Structure 1
Amino acid sequence: MTSIDMIADLLEREYQALRHSDFAALRALTDEKEQLVARLQRPSEADREALDGLRSKARRNDRLLAAVEKGLESARVSLKRLREPAAALDTYTQRGERTRIGATPSALTRRA
């Protein structure tokens, strides 16, 4: 198996790990990817076409990785919001007196 074939296989495994949110596998693939890329010497003309295919797969994985990062950030922000208390609401009683309704600062608020 050539270095190009090995990288193509690695990129496919990386793609599957991204699709399945297998972050442990992604971490393990990082070192392997660096080693394989370092092995590549100056490519021959025949290898250039194969390298174009690798570039295509790498771009696909980069887009998917960016989407995963965006999703994780969105989840982090949502969890942060859930931990914050709801804003207090000022309202009036039947007698016309102003009153405040709100959660205590330490309470976890459920939002629909």
Structure 2
Amino acid sequence: MTSLLGLALCAAVVQTAPPDRPLPVLRHLYAENCARCHGLDGSARSPEGTRLKGLDFTSARDMEGRTDQEMAQAIASGLFFGLRMPAFRSTFSETEIRTLIREVLRKARRGRPLDEPAER
């Protein structure tokens, strides 16, 4: 009986995910985790971004035809077995990844740091 109670408690803990973080926190996490290669403004002009041919979120040409789903998959799983870009599925939830793409990456403008709110 005790083991059944323990299993029920473990199942409840596993099913309870932490709440999604607000947009300002996601912007800060971008700066901490992504800017090294994609740049503070998303232009991928950093030395690492240039070397690794990082996606330039500010370029209409680079973003043309890229779906949110493809970008979400790359963020969650990484690229080239984590050697070109690590997986961030343990850093961001699925909802956070979608929010990051829609509210940060898709609104990137060269010269404007992505950890700052977009102008309306």
- Please tell me whether Structure 1 or Structure 2 has the larger radius of gyration of its CA atoms: 1
More helix by share: 1
TM-score by length of 1: 0.29
More strand by share: 1
